[in-house]
Structure 1
Amino acid sequence: MSRQRSMETIEKSEYVTIGELVRLTGVRYSTLKFYTEEGMLHFEQAEENLTRRYKREESVERITYIRQMREQKITIPEIKAILKSE
Structure 2
Amino acid sequence: MNGYAGNKDDLLKRLSRAEGQVRGIARMVDNDKYCIDILTQVSAATSALETVALSLLADHLSHCVAEAAAEGGPVAEEKIREANEAIARLVRS
TM-score (ref. length: structure 2)? 0.27
Which has the greater radius of gyration?
A: 2
State the structure with bigger RCO (CA 8 A, min sep 6), 1 or 2: 2
Higher helix share: 2
TM-score (ref. length: structure 1)? 0.29
Higher strand share: 1
